[in-house]
Amino acid sequence: MTHLVNSSQRSLGVTFPTENQANIVLWAPLAKHVAIKVYGNQAAIPLKKEDLGYWCLTTSQLKPGDLYTYILDGHQEYPDPTSLSQPQGVHGPSQAVDTGTFQWEDQCWVNPALDSYLLYELHTGTFTQEGTFQALESKLDYLKALGVNAIEIMPVAQFSDSRNWGYDGVYTYAVQSSYGGAAGLQHLINACHYKGIAVVLDVVYNHFGPEGNYVGEFGPYLTDKYCTPWGKAVNFDDAWCDGVRRYVIENALMWFRDFHIDALRLDAVHAIKDFSPKHILQELREEVDKLMAETGRRHYLIVESDLNDPRFINPLSENGYGMDAQWMDEFHHALRVSIGEEPLGYYADFEGIGDLAKAYQNAYVYDGQFSEVRHKLFGYRAETNPGQQFIVFSQNHDQIGNRKLGERSSQLYSYEAVKLMAGAVFVSPYIPLLFMGEEWGETDPFYYFVSHSEPELVEAVRKGRKEEFAAFHSDEEVPDPESDETYERAKLQWDLLEQESHQILLRYYQTLIALRQQLPALAHLERRQLDVRADEANETLILHRWHEDQHVLCLMNFSDQPQSISLPEAGEAGVPWRKLLDSADSTWQPQPQSETGPAPEAVSASETIQANPESIIIYAQHHEKSRFHVPDPISPRLYLS
């Protein structure tokens, strides 16, 4: 047999090419003997050893739904490292799954252009009280009414028990059984496409979780050549690395081909260590391109990277790795310091308004200067990369959950500041991302949580969390990540939508999203058609964006005092600027506010206006042709079931 990746079908693990036939391919290069034990059968069936460490079998004795394990060298019994289902948990037997039996109804679905994405990150287990894919489906109409056209699902690879962020997955191919398994995920994606919503799946290729991790029993999936925050690195360039590389690439292709996932978000690629002649990300890009050429479907590869290295997102033709986009933490850090976050930890490198202006203009804040946090010159300029290659946010799972008390922005900042930060994200020339519940000002924290069955591991996690925050002198205890209460507190409170202040904030987000999507000057992510001016003394920022003859002017006041802002000589001379939104307007206030008064409805260049504390005002020229309108308000009672 050949061992090249086949983009047209999955070849690793258990597959069912015909109704009564199972093909089995297992990579176990160091094993002397391999057999498969099918539950209900008396005798284990030996596999045949082939080239490059693969063991193979074609049999009629394994059918969809059957439980099975592998027996290595006559006595060691383990689940399948490429299992698609672990119904009895990470230590139990694997279950054979035929993903080809699902009846897809999305033949007419077209993945939107990446620059039109409006991302909504969510955690399946805490997005609803039920914590399942099925329950998530019941909220799709809500997300559609909000204006979301792409959801980003935190990792679903099988982890221990039912409480985990998802980054402790140990079965990269298996869908978490407590969420609904493979069939549940397929059903959810089919429903999303019917509603016009793309699906991004967060995947982890830089490490394996700690409990139920048996991959090392099958082969050298890990290497001690490099060290990561989670221990040994995944083996992408050491001895026997070819089997590991294939394992990762076939997994990515499976999500696209067999589950109709639209994009993958690759976790922490800076922790992927690979000095091969062809980096694993470059090889992945090439294989995904082949798949797209065969199917005619469009798929994106998005990375999380803190290296400020455009090589990750530069095209293959420019010796880059060809990733479509990356998360941009620096925009978040600059925005948070601008609003008043203490410059501690990784925020220590940021000075507020000036750095935020640079993030708007240049994407990376650090593009070659000295970083006090890293103690070195850091970053490289991203001069030619378009705006659609950067994803920005004011909140995400990491930036909330990795705080000691898991506080969301609504608990850290004023109501006005929350609106300002949201506006700052939506007027950027980048792809915006929301974190679940942000749009109504969710007040429950989003804690870090796990559920392990091994007492030593539980204690190690607790100790690690306490040590992580030891430098933060506080009387508050670190929430116990193993506690069921910690997990339950992280669930969204959908009933908050019945309260006026949360309804107003939701309507505000809905309006910002509509502005973003309907005005070409905001919807076109052209970094060159942008000008930004920061007044660090007064903590104000003016962002000017344009497309053809349409101009948008965004005035932001990050101070806690009213500030005078003089409009620049911008846009078309003699044409007045018309107000589209003022976050300080009474429309967006749950209670009457003491303010300088609303911004004028129309202003001219060089005119000076008074901006309310912690506010954003959006003016435009030639917006009439866009026929801007705000969708009907979301009725909370429709989504509280």
Residue 366 banded pLDDT, cuts 50, 70, 90: very high
* Percentage with pLDDT > 90 across the chain: 86
Q: Which residues are CB-contacts of 540 (< 8 A; sequence separation ≥ 6)?
A: 353, 534, 555, 556, 557, 558, 559, 563, 565, 611
What 8-state DSSP symbol labels residue 403?
A: S
Q: Is the pLDDT of residue 441 over 70?
A: yes
Q: Is the pLDDT of residue 37 over 60?
A: yes
**Residues 327 and 304 sit within 8 Å (Cβ to Cβ):** yes
Catalytic residue among 304, 309, 442, 582: 304
User: Which pLDDT tens digit goes with each residue over 221-272?
Assistant: 999 999 888 888 999 999 999 999 999 999 999 999 999 999 999 999 999 9
Two tokens, residue 82: 């490429």
Q: What is the DSSP string of 508-574?
A: HHHHHHHHHHH-HHHHS--TTSEEEEEETTTTEEEEEEEETTEEEEEEEE-SSS-EEEEPPS-SSTT
**Strand pairing of 263-266 and 198-203?**
parallel
Q: Which of 38, 70, 100 is the last residue of a domain?
A: 100
Q: Give me the sheet containing 13-18, strands edge to edge.
A: 13-18, 21-27, 54-59, 48-49
Segments forming the whole domain that contains residue 591? 526-626
Catalytic residue among 258, 262, 267, 349: 267
Task: Work out the average pLDDT over 22-51.
Answer: 96
Classify 364 in phi/psi space as left (phi over 0), alpha (psi -120 to 50) or beta: beta
CATH number at residue 593: 2.60.40.1180
**Residues 272 and 234 sit within 8 Å (Cβ to Cβ):** yes
CATH number at residue 23: 2.60.40.10
Residue 295 banded pLDDT, cuts 50, 70, 90: very high
In a domain, 392, yes or no: no
Two tokens, residue 356: 């935020």
Q: Which of 100, 126, 157 is the last residue of a domain?
A: 100
- 582 catalytic? Reply is no
Task: Work out the average pLDDT over 531-541.
Answer: 97
In a domain, 514, yes or no: no
- 304 catalytic? Reply is yes
Residues tagged in the binding site annotation for substrate: 265-270, 329-333, 397-402
Q: Which residues are CB-contacts of 48 (< 8 A; sequence separation ≥ 6)?
A: 55, 56, 57
Res 465: pLDDT: 77
Q: For residue 395, how far is the Cα from the chain centroid?
A: 11
Q: Is the pLDDT of residue 175 over 60?
A: yes
Two tokens, residue 288: 């995904």
Res 473: pLDDT: 47
Count other Cβ atoms within 10 Å, centred on residue 293.
9
Closest CA to 558 of 429, 421, 448, 451: 421
Higher pLDDT, 630 or 448: 448
Question: Cα–Cα distance between 613 and 609 in angstroms, integer?
Answer: 13
Closest CA to 14 of 72, 63, 49, 75: 63
In a domain, 2, yes or no: no
In a domain, 604, yes or no: yes
Number of domains in the chain: 2
Q: Is the pLDDT of residue 2 over 80?
A: no
User: Which pLDDT tens digit goes with each residue over 445-481?
Assistant: 999 999 988 888 888 888 877 777 655 546 678 889 8
In a domain, 541, yes or no: yes
In a domain, 590, yes or no: yes
Give ∠ CA 485-487-491 in degrees, rounded to 5: 110
Res 456: pLDDT: 84
**Residues 224 and 234 sit within 8 Å (Cβ to Cβ):** no
Two tokens, residue 534: 């920061």
Length of the chain: 641
Res 472: pLDDT: 52
Looking up tokens 């020339």 gives 429
Structure-derived torsion over alpha carbons of residues 194, 198, 204, 205, reported in degrees to the nearest 10: 100
Q: What is the DSSP string of 478-495?
A: PP-TT-HHHHHHTS--GG
Mean pLDDT of the chain: 94
Count other Cβ atoms within 10 Å, centred on residue 53.
19
Res 630: pLDDT: 78
Task: Work out the average pLDDT over 529-546.
Answer: 97
**Residues 231 and 215 sit within 8 Å (Cβ to Cβ):** no
Two tokens, residue 341: 């976050």
**Residues 625 and 578 sit within 8 Å (Cβ to Cβ):** no
In a domain, 265, yes or no: no
Question: Cα–Cα distance between 6 and 191 in angstroms, integer?
Answer: 28
Q: Which of 85, 100, 115 is the last residue of a domain?
A: 100
Mapped onto helix, strand or coil, the DSSP state of residue 347 is helix
Q: Is the pLDDT of residue 620 over 80?
A: yes
Closest CA to 264 of 308, 299, 307: 299
Res 211: pLDDT: 93
* Percentage with pLDDT > 70 across the chain: 98
Looking up tokens 């252009």 gives 113
Please report, as a single letter, which amino acid is at residue 446: F
Q: Is the pLDDT of residue 142 over 60?
A: yes
